[in-house]
Amino acid sequence: MRFREPAALAWQSPVEVVCPRCGSRATVRENDVGYRLTCTRCPLAVDGGSERHVLVDGRLVVLQWKHGAWHDPAVDRYVSVFRAREGEEPVFGLPLWLRTECCGGHLLWANNEEHLGYIESYVGATLRESVGLSTVLPTWMKLAKNREDILRSLHRLRTTLAPG
Ligand SMILES: [Zn+2]
């Protein structure tokens, strides 16, 4: 089987997360004004977008959008370099629904079903293009010895997306 990089980052949205109210699967979707968090089970529906729960120099901060830039209110300064916490949705700061430990403590995560399928086809492929997105996947995902463990974990995650 030959693996081909997808043309678009379709799997960056929506993002499946853990509902902060009931613990069921909730979904974060981008809309015209920001992001909306809705739960698949309880009535929770929250709008957001002006905050980012991220790491700045290894420190967890909640940045706020202010005067056209990201501002860290804790230290009152503007921040341009930050990154998402692994396995977490940055707008609402919630754990991803599709995440699990595998291969001896590595965190395996996906934003949504399409993303899951992307990792699945990458890990399952025997021939890979050396360009594109796969260059950003961590090395442990590319090791043949981890393949079975990863595919098994992905399969288990996929079953948690079943309705109901
Ligand atoms: Zn809920």
Q: Residue 70 falls within a domain, yes or no?
A: yes
CA dist., res. 21 & res. 8, Å (int): 33
Same domain, residue pair 101 and 29: yes
One domain, residues 131 and 153: yes
Q: What is the pLDDT of residues 92-123, one digit of tens each?
A: 999 999 999 999 999 999 999 999 998 998 89
- Domain that residue 20 falls in: 2-49+91-159
Is residue 164, in this structure, part of any structural domain at all?
no
Same domain, 64 and 113: no
pTM of the model: 0.86
Tens-digit pLDDT profile for residues 13-57 = 899 999 999 999 999 999 988 999 999 999 999 999 999 999 999
Q: Can you tell me the distance from the alpha carbon of 99 to that of 154, in angstroms, rounded to the nearest whole number?
A: 9
102, 149 Cβ separation under 8 angstroms: yes
Residues 119 and 150 in one domain: yes
> Over pLDDT 90: what percentage of the chain?
71
Distance of CA 27 from the midpoint of ligand 1 (Å): 10
**How many structural domains is the chain composed of?**
2
* Residues 151 and 74 placed together within one structural domain of the fold: no
Determine the distance separating the centroid of ligand 1 and the alpha carbon of 128, expressed in angstroms: 39
- 42 CA distance to ligand 1 middle (Å): 4
